[in-house]
Homo-oligomer: A and B are copies of this chain.
């Protein structure tokens, strides 16, 4: 586990350094999260232009803006997945969510939007884990409430447009058992408490539910956990799109996989969607002033952006015209980086805002427009999601013909 950012190592970094774990993301006081440093600490690889080009070529479609803009910026063994795909081999996508709140915020959409793009581009199956057990274990939530939130969150995920013929959404309380449980035990037998202490900072005073959980998050990395969905003959490789704070879980999974006789899952990892107050961390669903919710109406979005979105612009119109804005700390610019599709317009806005031709109020109006459109589209899509649709996505039954291959795609 030499690549693990241990708790001891985090402590040794000192006060001016960042902390990134699955439960805490804190940038430095000097600025945002230092992603270059994180890549080095975690030991993952950067996604460079050549890799984006390769994805573009293989999928015969433009790369998602999350790739063009370096939002999904790091990976582990992504080339192996692309090699496999090029050779006609099979892979699937695995992502997930901890259902801790009823309302998702904009940042929660990022992995799902990107996973849907990958599903469409590669024509591959997706498994989506709702870790209601994790939220029960870590939060002051009943099991019933965790399960209810999982189902509500499933509706938001379905609204992202996943192909029901290629997608299995499951909650742990619903699905753990059988071959999935067998893989959990295969993982658990090969991980010590000391490893969890080093990876996640667990202590002997913590309840053992915490020790029980990492194998639950590891299990979907192995196709054999889903015999009904994949069948027992197909053992496709796994690619995990996630935010980089989930990396510790999958470093652990990758360490264990060969000992279980399975290939290591590959990863494609994103930066965090910043809070309204700036890039000191992720948006938090538990702090309503830190986030734009998917349920927010345009009026609310307007208020939040105007009132809370940290600006890199000057304090008066005159100063802004004279000195221009600091784009590096401006939250609106960061939000446009995530959600404004048009590259030319985005470059134009950055240029104009930086030199002072654009004022903070104008920029904020544009951001309100972009985010409102996304929120409204999501609200409309979610309103179409019926309980029957949730049941269909959450059914473990087989999905015939869910695998595309590179050659299929080239033919089509």
Contacts and interface: CB of A to CB of B under 8 A. Distances in A.
Given A204-B193, A205-B194, A143 B182 contact: yes
Interface in A84-117: none
Nearest to A144: B182
A304 interface: no
B177 A192 contact: no
Contacts of A202: 193
Interface stretch (A209-217, A236-244, A276-284, A285-293): A209-217
Contact of A208 (B137, B174, B186, B196): B196
Interface residues of A, number: 37
Contacts of A211: 193, 208, 211-212
A191 B206 CA distance: 8
A interface SS class: helix
A185 B215 contact: no
Contacts of A182: 143, 173
B176 A192 contact: no
Contacts of A185: 133, 136-137, 143, 173, 209, 212
Contacts of A143: 182, 185-186
A188 B215 CA distance: 14
A351 interface: no
A240 to B, nearest CB: 21
A399 interface: no
23 contacts: A133-B185, A136-B185, A137-B185, A143-B182, A173-B185, A174-B178, A175-B177, A176-B176, A177-B177, A177-B178, A185-B209, A188-B212, A190-B207, A191-B208, A192-B205, A193-B208, A194-B205, A197-B204, A208-B212, A208-B214, A211-B211, A212-B212, A212-B215
Given A173-B182, A176-B181, A188-B209, 17 more contacts: A133-B185, A143-B182, A172-B181, A173-B181, A173-B185, A174-B178, A177-B178, A188-B207, A192-B205, A192-B208, A193-B193, A193-B202, A193-B203, A193-B207, A208-B214, A208-B215, A212-B215
